Structure 1
Amino acid sequence: MKRETRFSALYKANPDTALSISNATKEDALRRFTRYANMAGVDISKVLGTEAAGENTESAEDAKARREARRKERLANRSEKTVDPEREARRLAREARKKAKLDNKE
């Protein structure tokens, strides 16, 4: 990154800020890589070594189970939402018109 003009100028103008931005970028890249590797089912410790993998990484099975639990929770919350009676009536009317249109074609 230091070879690019925009970053080298930042390092010259404000080295402390540039260093903190650089570190944040590296951490973010490692976090995203770890997440994608887990989603793909790759053992990241083999790729990066155990120290670089970090302590908060989870296995692909754990990530899948967590995603499935979130999906089930969203579905449960969706069914609990109150339905607007006017909106529901409009939806039912649209479905009836579509069905009548299909019946007329036959």
Structure 2
Amino acid sequence: MNINSSFKLSAIGIKEMLTDFFKNPGEGLYQRTVRSGIWVFSLKIFERALGIVKLVILARILVPNDFGLMGIALLALACLETFSQTGFQQALIQKKRERKNTSM
């Protein structure tokens, strides 16, 4: 068995698996998890594509100097957003602490 035939078999298996996921909704936790992952992935792709379309439209409307200034501002905002995410929300969710009984 060569690599091409094994790739075709795995592609057919993936196609059948995805078809089964959409034909039998809500069968189990695994199927719901995979379906949710597919939705999240497709929404992220759509969001990225929409962002590219917005940039193309703005590039056509703005003069090059203004578009460059906007690009610098967007880069600064992205850097500030990245460094401002300290992980406090994840730590708050994951931290386990003992509960004290305050009733008498």
Normalised by the length of structure 2, the TM-score is 0.40
Pair member with larger Rg: 1
RCO comparison, higher one (Cα < 8 Å, 6+): 1
